[in-house]
Amino acid sequence: MEITILNKKISLEVIIGNIFRLFFVGIVIGSIINQNWFNLFTAILALALTYLPFFIAQKKRIYIPASFQVVILAFIFAAMYLGELYQYYDKFWWWDLMLHSLSGVILGFVGFILVYVLNREKRVKVILSPLFVAFFSISFAVTVGVLWEIFEFSADEIFGLNSQRWTRTGVVDTMWDLIVDFFGGLLIGILGYFYLTKNQPSFFKRAVKVFIDTNKELFSKRRKK
pLDDT digits (tens, 9 = 90+) for 120-167: 766 656 678 899 999 999 999 999 999 988 887 887 777 666 666 554
Q: For residues 157 and 210, what is the distance between their CA atoms, to the nearest angstrom?
A: 42
pTM: 0.82
The residue type of 179 is I
H-helix segments, 80-129: 88-91, 95-119
Contacts of 224 (CB under 8 A, 6+ apart): 120
18-71 pLDDT, tens digit per residue, is 888 898 898 889 889 988 887 788 788 888 888 887 787 777 678 888 888 888
- pLDDT confidence band for 225 (50 / 70 / 90): very low
From the number of C-beta atoms within 10 Å of its C-beta (0-12, 13-18, 19+), residue 108 rates as buried
Per-residue burial over 112-122, b = 16 or more CB atoms within 10 Å of its CB, e = otherwise? bbebbbebbee
Q: For residues 53 and 4, what is the distance between their CA atoms, to the nearest angstrom?
A: 24
In terms of Cα–Cα distance, which of 77, 111, 76, 82 is closest to 95? 82
- What 3-state DSSP class applies to 3? strand
Contact 44, 28 (CB under 8 A): yes
Contact 6, 39 (CB under 8 A): no
According to DSSP, the residues that pair with 9 across neighbouring strands are 4
Q: Residue 187's pLDDT is what?
A: 96
From residue 124, alpha-carbon distances to 91, 111, 118, 128 in Å are: 49, 17, 7, 10
